[in-house]
Amino acid sequence: MTNRERPLSPHLQVYRWQITMTMSILHRTTGIALALGAFGLVWWLLAVARGGDAYAAAADCLASPLGMLAAFGFSLALVYHLLNGIRHLLWDSGWGFELPEVYRSGYAVFALTVVLTALIWVFALRGGA
């Protein structure tokens, strides 16, 4: 076989890092985190259904620092994935394709993720009141 010199495809080292790249990677990562977190949610639901000691063990596990960190990460991933999914739905309807709008909506998703996740946790830790 002859070895023809062909141009190489550009790699990440060629491109300047952009918010769109970050958001795409995070959207995929949060999707994976949500799929894994669903197993934890099913485990908790099964413990609720069994009641008694099973629920007490699950509640203790979720109340531990590691359990709280996992729940916080799950809620952060859920809010980000939801908001970025809405952003994609808006793109599917033809809105927001201009570059300034892409950046503006990206920063809005980041900001709203932080604000909504913080509100969820403040509300949850205050006992719903």
Tens-place pLDDT, residues 18-27: 899 999 999 9
Q: What are the residue ranges spanned by the domains of the chain? A: 19-125
Of 113, 23, 111, 128, give the one whose Cα is nearest residue 72: 113
pTM for the predicted model, two decimal places: 0.84
Fold of 19-125: 3 helical TM bundles of succinate and fumarate reductases (1.20.1300)
In the block, residue with structure tokens 């509640």? 59
Q: What angle do CA 77, 70, 111 make, to 5 degrees?
A: 35
Q: What is the pLDDT of residues 59-101, one digit of tens each?
A: 999 999 999 999 999 999 999 999 999 999 999 999 988 999 9
Q: Does 81 appear as a known binding residue?
A: yes
Whether 2 has a pLDDT exceeding 90, the answer reads: no
In sequence order, which ranges of 51-97 are alpha helices (DSSP H)? 52-63, 65-92
Contact 75/117 with Cβ under 8 angstroms? yes
